[in-house]
Structure 1
């Protein structure tokens, strides 16, 4: 087990499982390799970030892009539940669950870095709000892609997208109170 201290508000726990295949085809696994025969098989990571630090990042970038921080928090809550290392089955990554294609469009090189992910996600959400002039449509585009919102002339008829928009708006209203 390895503990890495990054700052006063963040710590990282990482553990690697190593393996090697011997001459008889038998696989050996360990967390403490005893020779150079062992190669990394699986890395477990757990990050814990100070919620106050995340809140500051949200406020700073929201102010910069003129976006309501409560809306950003609602998106993050639904997208990743404030887990910086979150990764979806579709490959979306980080707090704001940005897909690799969108990461390239946004020049986001470090999707698991909270500051980079929040900045890029807010910038993307702001561009969607500018494009669609409606929170509901911008959220639908954030979830299903702007092409689908345009194609369907509104919120796409996808159950996931409809539920996503409702969840984010509900949390957004709660946070505004």
Structure 2
């Protein structure tokens, strides 16, 4: 598939040292036939797209949001609902394990997952970000993720990336979260949260979730993950843009 070749060529040029590792993983675009009937794209507050798929002669399930072949068919709505399920136990185990491994507060991981996918393990964004923590292929390969649809593997990759960003921005959670959304180079360029409405809203959401989920961990640690999964997604009120204008008084005759 042309789109797949384009992605693979980009990955090879970006991370040539990871080419062999990338070839060993069925990453993003090819999935076992055994789960093809149930695996389709779901919707979330932050990532949604019309997706099409078909099972090829090689037994792999191929997906795209731009169908260029008549064999592609729209994702089935019933399969969408089935695919949205992820167990509390799976999320809880992965969050606790990787929060400890990468020295993160588990509430921060939950906050990012909530904002990114609303705990939908099969969602794919228009940019190609996949799964619970919405990892793009480059990030997934960089952090050794083998199966983006696996709860533990996806959370491990997201947690490792978040740890990397926190270290890069000297522990500043807001900047790390902004970089998770917009990319570290943009944050470094502005030396602040980039002036993009999507990124600023994203940071606001994550920080609100983070505060609430930390409270849940303190009050009822055994139910924090369950409460996060059933928390109603935030709908932020748009903030008015503030424009700073500096006046200078000109001298007489100027």
Q: Which has the higher contact order (CA 8 A, sep 6+)?
A: 2
CA gap of 1:103–1:176, structure 2 versus 1, over 3 A, is same
Shift of 1:113: 1.0
Kept in 1: contact 2:109–2:159 (CA 8 A): yes
Normalising by the residue count of structure 2, what TM-score does the alignment of the two structures yield? Answer: 0.54
Which residue of the other structure, out of 78, 83, 86, is the alignment partner of 1:49? 86
The CA RMSD over aligned residues, in Å, is: 2.5
Q: Does 1:113 align with 2:150?
A: yes
Structure 1 residue matching 2:127: 3-state secondary structure = coil
Q: Deviations over 1:98-155 (max 9, x none)?
A: 1112122222221111111000100000010011020000000000000000111111
Kept in 2: contact 1:96–1:117 (CA 8 A): yes
Normalising by the residue count of structure 1, what TM-score does the alignment of the two structures yield? Answer: 0.76
User: Map of 1:16-27 to 2, 5 A cutoff?
Assistant: none
Q: Which runs of 5+ in 2 are unaligned?
A: 1-33, 41-52, 55-70, 216-254
Kept in 1: contact 2:129–2:135 (CA 8 A): yes
> What is the match of residue 175 of structure 1?
213
Count matched residues: 149
How many Å separate the matches in 2 of 1:140 and 1:15?
Answer: 30
> What is the match of residue 130 of structure 2?
93
CA gap of 1:12–1:61, structure 2 versus 1, over 3 A, is farther
How many Å separate the matches in 2 of 1:104 and 1:12?
Answer: 23
Q: Which runs of 5+ in 1 are unaligned?
A: 1-5, 19-38
CA gap of 1:100–1:15, structure 2 versus 1, over 3 A, is closer
